[in-house]
Amino acid sequence: MGNRGLFITFEGPDGSGKTTQINKLAAVLKKEETPFILTREPGGTAISDKVRAIILNPKYSELTSKTEILLYAASRSQHVDEKIRPALESGKIVLCDRFIDASIAYQGYGLGQPVDRVRSINRFASGGLTPDRTYLIDISPEAGRRRMIVRGGRSGEGLKNAARGLDRIERRHLAYHRRVREGFLTLYRENKQRIVLINGEREEDAVFQCILQDFRRFFNKHMTYDMKG
Ligand code: TMP
């Protein structure tokens, strides 16, 4: 990996707690003065955030699966060129909340679109960029949904009312989210060198210790130069 930074992604079904975990890792890096950026998908740049607003807006029920794949890929392409690659080239660690694995799990396995096509569109969009390490925080769709409802302060309402605060993707049926989860687990089985599977149904701190331990080992193995120099 030379003097290029490390590209670290966090993935998982909705409600897995990955955003909390990525923020915790960012706080450690900040404290230790390790150069990094924290970013997310869809989004991460002004243009990509506009695309995010379209993709997640529940009012666009007419949005087709093909358009959905392409919008995620468009958002990603801008994000990679404008933000991720320059940060990696300057030696920074890039912490990214979701990347191509999410498109494969949500649009490929979830929507039943051809996984190879989703992969090749995204290869084009990202210029072939692959994460160096991915933390896949696994949770059942039932537990994930409960968490999202509690997080949104909607636990006192019925499930139907509670769904009102969810975005266009989160609102999909549990069967869809089961396929997404299975998709992520398939990706894990195919990429065990890169993807670390974490049980996200445990205590927040226990989950974080697992991530931090692996991250430190990975960092020490791959970052051979003095990042503060
Ligand atoms: P978030 O919950 O991580 O902010 O992501 C927003 C939603 O977008 C989430 O339901 C997962 C979904 N998503 C996809 O369906 N495909 C993708 O490529 C990405 C990045 C996210």
What is the model's pLDDT at position 29? Answer: 98
- Closest C-alpha residue for ligand 1 atom 13: 102
The CA 228 to ligand 1 mean position distance, Å, reads 33
What is the model's pLDDT at position 206? Answer: 98
- Closest C-alpha residue for ligand 1 atom 19: 102
List CB contacts of 150: < 8 A, sequence separation 6 or more.
none
**Mapping DSSP to helix (H, G, I), strand (E, B) and coil, where does residue 97 land?**
strand
- Is residue 150 in some structural domain? yes
- Is residue 27 in some structural domain? yes
What is the model's pLDDT at position 223? Answer: 81
pLDDT digits (tens, 9 = 90+) for 185-222: 999 999 999 999 999 999 999 999 999 999 999 999 99
- Is residue 69 in some structural domain? yes
List CB contacts of 58: < 8 A, sequence separation 6 or more.
166, 167, 168, 171
Question: How far apart are alpha carbons 67 and 73 in whole angstroms?
Answer: 10
* Residue 43 token pair: 């989004």
- Is residue 162 in some structural domain? yes
- Determine which helix (DSSP H) or strand (DSSP E) holds 137, and give its type and residue range: strand 133-138
- Is residue 227 in some structural domain? no
- Is the torsion defined by CA of 103, 104, 106, 111 positive or negative? positive
Query: Using CB atoms within 10 A of its CB, is residue 124 exposed (0-12), middle (13-18) or buried (19+)?
Result: exposed
3-class SS string, 183-207: HHHHHHHHCCCCEEEEECCCCHHHH
pLDDT digits (tens, 9 = 90+) for 90-130: 999 999 999 999 999 999 999 999 999 999 999 999 999 99
What is the model's pLDDT at position 229? Answer: 41
- Is residue 228 in some structural domain? no
Query: Is the pLDDT at 159 greater than 60, yes or no?
Result: no
CA distances from 86 to 18, 37, 90, 177, 203 (A): 24, 11, 6, 34, 35
Domain enclosing residue 103, as ranges: 7-222
Average pLDDT score over residue span 139-158: 78
- Is residue 229 in some structural domain? no
- Is residue 1 in some structural domain? no
* Residue 192 token pair: 């065990």
List CB contacts of 75: < 8 A, sequence separation 6 or more.
41, 42, 43, 44, 47, 48, 51, 52, 55
Average pLDDT score over residue span 29-52: 97
Ligand 1 proximal residues by C-beta, below 6 Å: 14, 41-42, 56, 72, 97-98, 102-103, 106-107, 169-170
The CA 17 to ligand 1 mean position distance, Å, reads 13
* Number of domains the chain is built from: 1
Nearest ligand 1 atom to the CA of 103 is 18
Query: Is the pLDDT at 161 greater than 70, yes or no?
Result: no
> Tell me, what CATH number does 74's domain have?
3.40.50.300
Task: Give, for ligand 1, the residue of 38, 41, 63, 176 to mutate: max count of ligand atoms closer than 8 Å to Cβ.
Answer: 41
List CB contacts of 104: < 8 A, sequence separation 6 or more.
115, 118, 119, 122, 183, 187
The CA 12 to ligand 1 mean position distance, Å, reads 9
